[in-house]
Amino acid sequence: IFERTFPLLKFEAREENVSPQILDGLYEYECAIGDVPRYYVEPLEKLIGASSKEDQLQSDSLPSLLKVDSRKTTYWRQYLEEACGDRPCFGVFWRSKIDLANRAKNYVSPALVGKCIPVGSVVVNLQYEHSQKEDNYLKETAKIYGFKVVDLPKINLTNDIDDLFSVLKVVDAVIGPLLSTSWFAAAVGTPAYTFRKEEKGYIWQQFGTKFIVWAPAIRMYFSRPSDPWENTMSLIQSDLLQKFGR
pLDDT at 54: 52
pLDDT at 82: 94
- Beta-strand relationship, 218-223 and 192-197: parallel
pLDDT in 10s for each residue of the chain, 246 residues: 999 999 998 887 776 676 776 777 777 777 887 788 788 888 878 877 776 665 555 445 678 899 999 999 999 999 999 999 999 999 999 998 887 777 889 999 999 999 999 999 999 999 988 888 999 999 999 999 999 999 898 889 989 999 999 999 999 999 999 999 999 999 999 999 999 999 999 998 888 877 787 888 999 999 999 999 999 999 999 999 999 976
**What is the end-to-end Cα distance of the chain in Å, rounded?**
34
pLDDT at 55: 52
CA gap 81, 171 in Å, rounded: 10
CA gap 153, 40 in Å, rounded: 42
